[in-house]
Every structure is written in structure tokens, then in C-alpha cells.
Amino acid sequence: MREIHASAITDAVKKLCIEANYALEPDMLRAFDRALGTERSPAGKHVLQILKDNAELARTKKIPYCQDTGTAICFVELGQDVHVTGGGLADAINEGVRRGYTEGYLRASIVRSPFDRVNTGDNTPAVLHVEVVAGATMKIQIMAKGGGCENRSKFKMLTPADGVDGVKEWILECIKTAGPDACPPLIAGVGVGGSFEKAAILSKKALFRELGTANPDPVVDAIEKDVLERANRLGIGPQGYGGDTTAFGVHILTYPCHITSLPVAVTIECHAHRHKEVTL
Amino acid sequence: MISTALDGVKEVTPPLSAADVELLKAGDRVRITGVLYTARDAAHGRLLPLMDAGKPLPFDVKGQIIYYTGPSPARPGHVVGSIGPTTGGRMDKYTPKLLALGLKGTIGKGARSQPVKDALRQHKGVYFGAIGGAGAVLSAFVKKLEVVAYEDLGTEAIRRLEVESFPVIVVNDCHGGDLYEEGMTQYAR
């Protein structure tokens, strides 16, 4: 049994929250450059250039890339041979979020109840998903998930008869209805299969894959590429001002499902796709 | 007041008159210099009962522009943190009433409802788009910031901003123009 102290988890989460909000990942920056090379719309190019400048300013001046520093979504892959000492895992993670958001001058966007809507003041609690896996390490993935695009995420139970074409149409419909509201160019994280709740979690997890990489499953890869191409023919464009760059990517994760079911969840993610991970 | 600079960008200084608003067309690039007021979901929620009761609001909205934003906290020595727009559509329930009271402009990102577009025509108002997610860049245009009301709402409090050459684009004008619809039609393949 390997021991990991709660304070090490807190420190790691704090660092991930701050770094995610100040510095976009290199795959996102490369996506801006690729899009600048293909975008026909002058307004769209202008937006893409400003977003590149914004990323540079955020990184160098240590200002959040977007004022909505998001819900702290946290995926933990916990090795079964790890023993967390010195406190509870969830408490350690929330303390990391608390310190990261407070000390990093990040916006507190979480209310304690969806009904009384009183801000907790420190962006806690995180939305936490823990999966127990083999091994003696702990992988922590943090996503600072913006609210505007999250509000455009959707779920639908398709029927097995709807098939691949039905899945494609549903993802496209989600991108189209998100439109300018979701700060395009966007990324669609898609969970197909499992169950109602499993599909939604997969749709978030799918967003951690490096942008521009192929899906390891060639069948799913072909679906992703087709939907992405069709999304970019919608004309929505950067910031919805019209153009060719509506989406940077479509990332799909699948899971076995019941003979009656074809659940499909689509998490809409904006161009402020802030995510970091670490393995302890 | 509205004028056009040599580069074709329109210079806007609130307060705005109906005649000013009529000069703005969907797709126009605009720089705003002067005062903006911030208000978003929770602040609008508090303004609504005041409007319904005919009571005065925490600031006079006549001719003014509301920026839908909830800034991130400023580092010591800085005016503000990151300050980009939030989704305008969430404020659709409140906007026609504010326009009826004389509000002339709102700044956000994302599409507005038909009742808001109708109210922009009826009351001569304009909806500007600022670039969503560009909050670090936009913070450089804010020269002064003070809380006007509802400090307990934190990032959602009403703030008075003094901005210089704050860059926006006209999304919905008072003539029925809609940049999102026009842009999408132009580039759909």
C-alpha cells in the first residue's frame, strides 16, 4: 500500500486550478493557428487573432483567460493500492479548489443551493468523479468548466434504430442550437452508450483527449471527423459572427449499453477549454 | 454621442439618444468610451421587483449601457481581473422593461429572444457583442471600477466602469438587423 498525504493532493489541485485558468494548453493554441489558416471570414479571423492575444496576455500577466473561471470539475483515477492519509480525499480536493481560486484571484461562481443562490465565495465544492483503478498512483484531472457553454450541453435517449446517423444528427443539432451563445469555436465532448448518467460523465471525460488527435477506434474516428466537417459548414463561425470555424473538435467516448438503449450526451465546451492533469 | 473614426470604427459615448442608436447597424465595429454599468443574473433579479413597483433603480438607466459581466477579482494594484461578456440571453426576461425605462444598450454574447429584438425596435435600443472568453484582453480597456449596488452579490454586484475605446460589435440594431443570422447565412455551405 502506497501512502499519499491529503496535503499533497490539496497542493496539486490548487496548482492545477490556477495554471488551468492562466494558461491554455498547447493543443488549443495550435487549433487557433490552424483555424487562422483556413477561416474565410474577416470577422472570424479577427476574433481568432484576439483569442490568441488573449491567451498570451493571460499566460504572461497571470490573469484568467476568461472571467468565468468555471466549475472545478475533477476526475480522479485512484489506484487501489493507494492509501490517502491525513484526511479525506474529497476534503483534500475541495481545499485545493478553495486555495487555488482564492489565492489565484479566480472568480467564485458556485452557489451553495440552486434555489437560494448564495455564493460559497471560494468556488467550492468541486464536481468530483472518482474511479478506482489498478495500481499505486493517483491521476487528478481538473477542468475549469465555463457556465455559458455548459448551459448548452444536452442529453438524448436515441433508439438503437437511430444508429450512427442518428447520433451524428444529434451532435450537430447540439452544436447548432448552442450557436453563438457557447463562445465558438467550440469542442463537443460526446458520451455514447452506458446509461443515462454514464453517458454524461463520458462526455466530460472525452474532453481531456488532446485536440487534433485521432480517436483510437477507427469507426468512432470516422464519425468524429464527419461531424466536425459538417459542423464547420454550418456557418456559425468564431463568436457566431459567421465563418468556417464553428468547432475545433468532436471527441467521443463510448461504453457498452443495454439492448434497448442508445444514450448520447453532448457536453459543449467553449474555446476557453482549460484543463490540466497530474499523476501523484 | 456617436462619431465615426478614420478607420471606419464608430465611437460611442454614453448617454445615447434614440437618434444615436439609429446610426448603429448590425456588423458595425464600435469603440465605447465613458461609463458602462455591469449587471447580470442576480442583479437583474433584484431590479425586477423595483421596476414592477415603479420604484427608482440604483442608477438612472436613461441613455445608459449595461454590460453583462461578472469580473474575476483584481490582483492588488490592478483595476480589475478578467472581464469578458456573459450570455445575454439569460437576461431576456428583464431587458424589454429596462429598454422601456430608457436603457439604450446592452453588451453580452450570444443570441437574444424575439421579444428583446422587438423591444430594441420599439424603444430604439442596441445589443452589442463583446468577444466571449477574451476577458484578459478586455480588462485593459477598463480604467476605473466601483461598486454601485448589491455588494453582497460579489461578482454579480452592479458596478460602474469607466472604459476607454472598449471594443464591441453591433449584433442587433434597432432596424431588425441581426449579425448572427446574417453571418451564418453568408458562410453556411
- A224 inside 8 A of chain B by CB: no
3-state secondary structure of A191: strand
Contact: B133, A183; criterion CB under 8 Å? yes
Q: Cα B121 to chain center, whole Å? A: 16
Q: How far apart are the C-alpha atoms of B81 and B103, rounded to whole Å?
A: 26
Contact list, A180 vs chain B (CB under 8 Å): 109-111, 129, 180
Contact B137 A182 (CB under 8 A): no
Whether the pLDDT of residue A274 is over 90: the answer is yes
d(CA B83, CA B85): 7
ipTM of the complex: 0.95
Write down the pLDDT at residue B5.
86
Q: Which of A239, A269, A270 to mutate to test the interface with B (most CBs of B within 10 A)?
A: A239
Structure-derived torsion over alpha carbons of residues B169, B173, B178, B182, reported in degrees to the nearest 10: -70
| A146 neighbourhood in chain B, CB within 8 Å | 133
CB atoms < 10 A from the CB of A218, how many? 9
pLDDT digits (tens, 9 = 90+) for B64-119: 999 999 999 999 999 999 999 999 999 999 999 999 999 999 999 999 999 999 99
Instruction: State the cell numbers at A239.
Output: 463568436
A109 contact residues in B (CB cutoff 8 A): 70, 155
Contact A30, A213 (CB under 8 A): no
**In the prediction, which pLDDT does A181 show?**
96
* Interchain contact A83–B (C-beta under 8 A): no
Who among A63, A239, A244 is closest to B82 (CB)?
Answer: A63
The per-residue pLDDT for range A15-69, each reduced to its tens digit, is 999 999 999 999 999 999 999 999 999 999 999 999 999 999 999 999 999 999 9
CB contact under 8 A, B154 and A121: yes
Angle ∠(A70,B172,B118) on CA atoms, nearest 5: 110
- Quote the pLDDT of residue B6: 80
**CB contact (8 A) between residue B154 and residue A108:** yes
CB B103 within 8 A of CB B15: no
Q: Inform me whether the pLDDT recorded for B36 exceeds 90.
A: yes
SS3 B42: helix
Amino acid sitting at position A271: H
Instruction: Supply the angle between the helices A26-38 and A42-61 in degrees, to the nearest 10.
Output: 160
| pLDDT surpasses 90 at B7 | no
Q: How far is B23 from chain A (nearest CA, A)?
A: 20
Q: Give the Cα separation of A30 and B38 in Å (integer).
A: 34
pLDDT of residue A23: 97
By CA distance, what is B168's nearest residue in A?
A: A47
pLDDT of res. A151: 97
Report how far residue A99's alpha carbon sits from residue A11's, in angstroms, rounded to the nearest whole number.
9
Whole-angstrom distance, CA of residue B159 vs CA of residue B145: 7
pLDDT digits (tens, 9 = 90+) for B49-63: 999 999 999 999 999
